[in-house]
Amino acid sequence: MSRFKAVIFDLDGVITDTAHYHYLAWKQLAESQGVHFDHAFNENLKGIDRMGSLDLILASSSRTYTPEEKLALADTKNLHYQELIATMSSKDLLPGAVEALDAVRRAGLRIGLASVSKNAFTVLGRLGITDKFDYVVDAATIARGKPDPEIFLKAARELGVAPADCLGVEDAVAGVAAIKSAGMFALGIGHPFVLTEADVVITSLKEFNLAAY
């Protein structure tokens, strides 16, 4: 049925559209610092951890920030983000997400989640899908964010599956790069012109077909 032994999913932009909430929270933060922020710029932030994203935004600012100021700005963004996700529920699952998870389960493969979001456990809980995963990486234990392969390699190790036997699913350029440098097969969710490093790109998990990869 499948040549893989595990599927490791990203969360934001793959299973649920929190990518939009991150966008709204970063946009408000950036504009409070006089930095222009739009969807094109946001594309560079997808999959990038909180402080890494802030550094990319502040690189366009005319002033410099102390580490304390940066931490305060990151906290402001995170509090806004947490307000935005507080009302999430299973209605916020992206089309095809539950069906894809259930198809992987039925095929007897292991299922992991590799999100660098420190809010991932909260979001999974709100979506009501925590128990669909065999292993969820705790982002607080990851030293290097995507595009470093660390988070995908940790997921594979904890699932007891060799990286070459894993299929990684990602919507971000940095995430696809992380999957490829982990030595896994990369399924991109989005546009092939954007996710050029992915082995296969589909528009959404509605098109997920495990037997085809």
Judged by CB under 6 A, does residue 49 bind ligand G6P? Answer: yes
Site string for Mg ion, 117-156 (x = CB under 5 A): ----------------------------------------
Judged by CB under 6 A, does residue 198 bind ligand G6P? Answer: no
Per the CB < 8 A criterion, the answer to whether 95 and 206 are in contact is yes
Name the residue nearer to ligand G6P (CB basis): 21 or 185.
21
Q: Is 134 annotated as a binding residue?
A: no
Residues acting as catalytic residues: 10, 12
Site string for ligand G6P, 79-118 (x = CB under 6 A): ------------------------------------xxxx
Q: Is 116 annotated as a binding residue?
A: yes
- Residue 119 binding target from Mg ion, ligand G6P, none, CB below 5 to 8 Å by type: ligand G6P
Q: Which of 57, 52, 33, 18 is nearest to 151 (CA)?
A: 52
Per the CB < 8 A criterion, the answer to whether 7 and 166 are in contact is yes
Q: Is 98 annotated as a binding residue?
A: no
Q: How far apart are CA 21 and CA 10, in angstroms?
A: 16
β strands within the chain, DSSP E: 6-9, 110-113, 135-136, 166-170, 185-189, 200-202
Judged by CB under 5 A, does residue 13 bind Mg ion? Answer: yes
Q: How far apart are CA 156 and CA 166, in angstroms?
A: 7
Q: How far apart are CA 167 and CA 107, in angstroms?
A: 13
Q: Is 148 annotated as a binding residue?
A: no
Instruction: Go through 161-181 and write b for each residue having 16 or more CB atoms within 10 A of its CB, e for each that does not.
Output: bebebbbbbbbbbbbbbbbbb
Give residues in contact with Mg ion (CB under 5 A): 10, 12-13, 171-172
Give residues in contact with ligand G6P (CB under 6 A): 12, 19, 22, 45-50, 53, 78, 115-119, 172
